Amino acid sequence: MTTLARKLRVTDYFTLGWGTMVGVGWLVIMDDWLLRGGPLGGVLGFAIGGALLLPIGYVYGKLVMAMPDAAGEVAYTARVFPPAVSFATGWMMVLAYFIVCAWEAVAVGRIAGYIFPTLDSMELYRLAGRPVYLPHLMIGLGLTGLITLLNYRGVRLSATFQNWTTFGTLALFVVFVGFGVTKGSTQNFPPLFTHSPFISILLIIQIVPYFMTGFESVTKAAEEANPEFQAQSFFKAIWMAIIVGILFYTIVIAAVGYVAPWRTLTGEKFMTAVAFEHAVGSRWIVSTILAAALLSLFKVFNGNFVASSRLLFAMGRRGLVDTRLGQVHPRNQTPSVAVVCIGLATAACMFLGDAILVPITEVGSVASAAGWSAACAAYYAMRPAGRERLIAIIGVVVGVAMILMKVVPLVPGHFNGYEWLALGVWSAIGLILGWRERALARAVIAR
């Protein structure tokens, strides 16, 4: 049986984990973040929400060291829970990764339209009041095709692309933040919170799972580690991804609040770029920010594409979905069928346009939290010793709390109709696929 190529190193796992986590939300919907919590509410929300993920990261590190399986949460839950739990967990995590691919494919059109305003033309139709432009579609579809091709051809090619875009993003981030804050003032911060401090922080914590999803993508590529790779390096890559992610988000929110009077800019398109341009008074810093955003978009798209395709491949290999998804390309040693399916599904979602951006954020948060909770519960059921059982319990509590914050109607910022619809459609597709595979398995046994 052809196996996946084993070519990844510790740097590749860090860039996969952090690169999958940090996309272009800090540019595209910064106004939504600040309207939710204000500068201090945003900083504290991401700091607290990110810190709460450290126990979950610890559990994932332990699990991948013990079970380096591309199935990730599917493999962990299958060890101690019934197949239905394993399937449901895997299906929700596929959603958590795949939904980011769709988000980035749409976002690239918006960024391109900001750089070249003439691209905001040739409107095809509207969804939820948002126009869908032909040039945006073509750009998004082109990027989707490129990412699909990279991952079809080989994991080393995909990892090299991920490394360059990740470190390029970090370098440009240091440049524009370092220069921009020299022109800012603390007088720009107020109001520090947009609601009461508690509600402001809560509204930010609700979206942290979506924007911090990615550290656990390290587990999905565990079978592709270099033969000389040391197992404990998985643990290091996961924790580094979480810590650097917390620092990135808190710094960029604080910087936007510091460099300009943010309250007057919340109606602007790409508020982050506008705020820095307001402070510096020059267009070059906008170009630097947009370059960083494009590199970040490429890496987060590629990282989530890797994670979603590997997880779908692993589910197919286990017979939880169509077994053809578990095929490995004989020459490229990639999960080629799963890669093509993720690419086609991302391309289809492109036609929903900008209307999907904010709802995707909310649904992705719940999907991620559900997978994290199940993984921690599985680790607890494996009966680790003393302190590790406590960490597993903390992980479960954090994950469940993050789910409840979005689904309980009494909590501010809970799901609306569109978000319930998106989650319901995905769950229905999963039920149909799971039922079909079980029916086929019963038919084979009956013969």
pLDDT tens for 17-45 read: 999 988 888 888 899 899 999 999 999 99
pLDDT digits (tens, 9 = 90+) for 233-278: 999 999 999 999 999 999 999 999 999 999 888 888 788 999 999 8
CB-CB contact of 94 with 311 (8 Å): yes
CA angle 331, 336, 338 (to 5 degrees): 160
Q: What percent of the chain has pLDDT over 90?
A: 49
Length of the chain, please? 447
Q: Which two tokens stand for residue 433?
A: 């696929």
Q: Is the pLDDT of residue 446 over 60?
A: no
Cα separation of 121 and 235, whole Å?
47
Residues 6 or more apart in contact with residue 86 via CB below 8 angstroms = 74, 77, 78, 320
Query: Of all helices (H) and strands (E), which one includes residue 272?
Result: helix 271-280
Cα separation of 171 and 177, whole Å?
10
> Residue with structure tokens 């033309």?
121
* CATH of segment(s) 10-438: 1.20.1740.10
pTM for the predicted model, two decimal places: 0.87
> Residue with structure tokens 């981030």?
173
Q: Give which of 15, 5, 69 is closest to 226, Cα–Cα.
A: 5
pLDDT at 441: 62
Specify the DSSP class assigned to residue 297: H
What does the pLDDT average to over 153-172? 92
pLDDT digits (tens, 9 = 90+) for 353-388: 776 666 666 787 788 889 999 999 999 999 887 889
Q: Is the pLDDT of residue 444 over 90?
A: no
Query: In terms of DSSP bridges, do strands 130-133 and 123-127 run parallel, antiparallel, or are they unpaired?
Result: antiparallel
CA angle 110, 349, 217 (to 5 degrees): 90
Cα separation of 78 and 86, whole Å?
5
Cα separation of 374 and 372, whole Å?
5
- 218 three-class SS: helix
Query: Of all helices (H) and strands (E), which one includes residue 131?
Result: strand 130-133
What residues does each domain of the chain span?
10-438
Q: Is the pLDDT of residue 163 over 90?
A: yes
Number of helices (H) and strands (E) in the chain: give both, helices first. Answer: 17, 2
CB-CB contact of 320 with 87 (8 Å): yes
Cis peptide before 191 (omega within 30 of 0): yes
What does the pLDDT average to over 296-302? 92
Q: Is the pLDDT of residue 1 over 60?
A: no
At residue 272, what is the residue type? T
Q: Is the pLDDT of residue 425 over 80?
A: yes
